């Protein structure tokens, strides 16, 4: 069992051409001794490890930053064969980074050297969301099918049609009611005119009868 617990178990880089990318390693010391570590890689010119060695006190953690230099092109199928090796040994209490030597991590030193291998994985960066077309409904998903969009358009177009039909029907009803009232008004006026003519005629007849009676009495 290694003296250090190393997380994550793989170095994952969101690969982008011509861009420097970093990821971190967390070294956790769960024992009661001081532990010295050293980080090695199969491609030292390609990666920068800071720090590449150090001391992890008992019951504590230590962060290591691994930076991949900008690459001119992506590897075939985004596959990477690079690997890292984290070596660790138990050292005396109070040891510092200055006390670390290369010989401490060799078998000839007599120390128990723990080694953990880590592989490098390239992952594609997240893609930006597809732009929403001007004619699409706000909030609809970019993957919405054309049939769904068609249904939505039909619903939207049917709303003003129904509104216009309702207004037209209401207008026609109002027009018919207005015609009905106008006809009734004309009929009342016509009746009033007939009544007025009859009254005048009646007065004239009475007057004529009065004159006739007066004439007959005189004679």
Structural domain 4-123, CATH architecture = Sandwich (2.60)
pTM metric for this prediction: 0.57
CA distances for 185 relative to 59, 179, 199, angstroms: 104, 10, 21
Residue 166 confidence (pLDDT): 63
Enumerate the domain spans of the chain. 4-123, 153-219
Cβ(36)–Cβ(88) below 8 Å:
yes
Question: pLDDT class for 183, splitting at 50, 70, 90?
Answer: confident
User: Which residues touch 61 (CB under 8 Å, ≥6 apart)?
Assistant: 26, 27, 28, 29
Mind listing the pLDDT tens digit for each residue in 189-203?
776 676 666 667 776
pLDDT in tens, 6-35: 999 999 999 999 999 999 999 999 999 999
Q: Give the angle subtended at the CA of 46 by the CAs of 41 and 48, to the nearest 5°.
A: 70
Max distance between CA atoms of the chain, in angstroms, equals 175
Q: How far apart are CA 115 and CA 110, in angstroms?
A: 15
Task: Judge if the upstream peptide bond of residue 51 is cis by omega within 30 degrees of 0.
Answer: yes
Is residue 61 within 8 A of residue 27, CB to CB? The reply is: yes
- For 54-96, what is each residue's pLDDT tens digit? 999 999 999 999 999 999 998 888 899 999 999 999 999 989 9
The answer to whether the peptide bond before residue 158 is cis (omega within 30 degrees of 0) is no
- What phi, psi does 166 have (nearest 5°)? -65, -45
Identify the CA nearest to 69 among candidates 39, 42, 46, 44.
Answer: 46
Count the Cβ atoms, other than its own, within 10 Å of residue 33. Answer: 15
């Amino acid at each position: 069992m290694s003296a250090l617990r190393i997380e994550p178990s793989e170095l994952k880089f969101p690969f982008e051409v011509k861009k420097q990318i970093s990821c971190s390693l967390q070294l956790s010391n769960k024992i009661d001794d001081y532990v010295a570590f050293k980080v090695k890689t199969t491609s030292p010119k390609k990666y920068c490890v800071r720090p590449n060695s150090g001391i992890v006190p008992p019951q504590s953690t230590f962060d290591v930053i691994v930076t991949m230099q900008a690459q001119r092109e992506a590897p075939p199928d985004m596959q990477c064969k690079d690997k890292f090796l984290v070596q660790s040994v138990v050292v005396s209490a109070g040891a510092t980074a200055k006390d670390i030597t290369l010989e401490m991590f060799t078998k000839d030193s007599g120390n128990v050297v723990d080694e953990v291998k880590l592989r490098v994985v390239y992952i594609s960066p997240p893609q930006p969301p597809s732009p929403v077309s001007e004619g699409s409904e706000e909030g609809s998903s970019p993957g919405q099918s054309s049939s769904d969009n068609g249904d939505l358009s039909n619903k939207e177009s049917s709303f003003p049609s129904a509104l216009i039909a309702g207004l037209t029907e209401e207008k026609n009803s109002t027009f018919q009611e207005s015609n009905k009232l106008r006809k009734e008004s004309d009929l009342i006026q016509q009746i009033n005119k007939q009544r007025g003519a009859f009254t005048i005629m009646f007065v004239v007849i009475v007057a004529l009868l009065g004159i006739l009676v007066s004439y007959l009495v005189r004679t």
